[in-house]
Amino acid sequence: MFKGSIVALVTPMAEDGEIHYAALQQLVEFHIKAGTNGLVAVGTTGESATLPIDEHIQVVRKTVEYAAGRIPVISGAGANSTSEAIELSQASAEVGADGLLSVVPYYNKPQQRGLIGHFEKVADATDLPVLLYNVPGRTVTDMLPETVAVLSGHKRIVGLKDATGDIQRLKTMQSLLPEDFILLSGDDATGCEFMLQGGHGVISVTANLVPDRMARLCAAATAGQSVLAREIDGQLAELHQALFIEPNPVMPKWALYKMGLLPSPMLRLPMVEPELIHQKAIEQVMQKAGVIS
């Protein structure tokens, strides 16, 4: 169910900072028409850190409504408090999400045993499948492969988004995990190689801009078509890098605004628009990749 090109969807906002639901609906249609395999609503790229719970769940609700069963919707439902992660998970289930993306608790630096307890409690709280999310560059704490292996024994913990960019770690996890455990890259720059080495897909920031090409890349890579996959990935390599010149989702929002897919590049404070030099840099990369003229 959760394989291929899954977009880490931005949350559109108007100039006043309010959620722009018409633009959200437009983005959902854009991805369905382009062949995207799944949507992550209100993950890191969707500014989960700055949306209060009621607004967070309303964005998930609307994403589910707009998708209308045509594409799976995964709710970003992680938190550094186990009780808050459970609240988000249960509310996501109530509004119709197909799955949960639950990040390693950030800032408080839990032990590995604490991670096991946290994710088991989250998975016990709903009937939805849970994807673990390891992104130590943001959370500080790194969920070790051995910890993932323990958690894979829970019937509702079905997969992992790994954003370490470490292909050797993928091989370690493959040796520890059940064959049906879903392994998704959370790093666009190494996602192609991740899939060619046996990963099942990518939760992608780049897919916000070029969903059709990311869908073709993922289809080729997961089918073992290495020449085609690497050819497409090579065309997108500069884009993968440029989208992280400033902290995500600053650059993808600016890029989508320049493409006419967002009404504004507005972000919630403490995030702000990119520096002028970075605006110019990504626009040049977008032109080179044929995203804008």
Q: Provide the pLDDT for residue 68.
A: 98
Reference 10, options 30, 40, 53; nearest CA is: 40
Q: What is the pLDDT of residues 133-162, one digit of tens each?
A: 999 999 999 999 999 999 999 999 999 999
Query: What's the N-to-C CA distance of the chain in angstroms?
Result: 36
Global confidence as pTM: 0.98
CB-neighbour burial class of residue 67 (10 A; exposed 0-12, middle 13-18, buried 19+): buried
Q: What is the pLDDT of residues 179-199, one digit of tens each?
A: 999 999 999 999 999 999 999
45 is in an annotated binding site: yes
Is 133 a residue of the active site? yes
Q: Provide the pLDDT for residue 292.
A: 95
Cα separation of 4 and 51, whole Å? 28
Q: Provide the pLDDT for residue 1.
A: 81
147 is in an annotated binding site: no
Is 3 a residue of the active site? no
Cα separations (Å) of 93 from 25, 61, 96, 124? 20, 10, 5, 13
Query: Which residue segments constitute the domains of the chain, with CATH numbers given?
Result: 4-226 (3.20.20.70)
Whether 29 and 278 have beta carbons less than 8 Å apart is answered as no
Residues of the chain with pLDDT under 70: none
Out of 133, 253, 257, 258, the active site residue is 133
